[in-house]
Amino acid sequence: MIKFLPESASVVLEEVPDRVTLAVDITNCQGHCEGCHSPYLRGNFGEELTPEKIDALIADNFGVNCFLFLGEGADVDALLALVKYLNEKYPRLEVALYSGLPHTDDRVWDYFDYVKTGPYRRSYGPLNSPTTNQRMYRLQRGGGRESAVDITERFWHRGIDPNATTK
């Protein structure tokens, strides 16, 4: 089962390049990143994310062209079932995953259009820092890891590098 926080679902513009994205916070995070901006998401709480709830979220957010899972939760099979549902019912809607884990289940790479991996490490900076350890990949749906193209540098113009010095 995948749980989410319905009240935190929102349309975002910077998490996936060139996409109007519906971002959904997934709870029961398995990562324990030092300096995590949302440590409360480690808890196993919230509502079950079902196909019916996905339909309602999409209907309430007209114009989105990407659905983003902010986290994997602890049930990869349930996550993949939801992604397969999105792929089948909304074939023009791209699907993204932000994972704080260093490695994701190999099956994930076959169903998503975008996957961000890697735990946040304060000393390396966030995704918009050229020194980040995190990586964002563009995938060819069904192509697996072999189709992954690293697009992390697309984020580096977004914001100020926290490691840069200013005068």
- 93: Cβ–Cβ under 8 A, 6 or more apart, which residues? 58, 64, 65, 66, 67, 86
The Cα 89–Cα 77 span in angstroms is 18
Q: What is the pLDDT of residue 167?
A: 41
Look at residue 111 and give its three-state secondary structure. Answer: coil
Beta-bridge partners for 97: 69, 115
pLDDT category of residue 101 using cuts at 50, 70 and 90: confident
What is the value of pTM for the model shown? 0.90
Q: What is the pLDDT of residue 35?
A: 74
Beta-bridge partners for 22: 11, 67
Q: What is the pLDDT of residues 3-13, one digit of tens each?
A: 999 999 999 99
Q: What is the pLDDT of residues 123-155, one digit of tens each?
A: 999 899 999 999 999 999 888 899 999 999 999
84 has pLDDT over 70: yes
Spatial contact of 66 and 96, defined as CB atoms under 8 Å apart: yes
Q: What is the pLDDT of residue 159?
A: 53
Instruction: Tell me the average pLDDT of the chain.
Output: 90
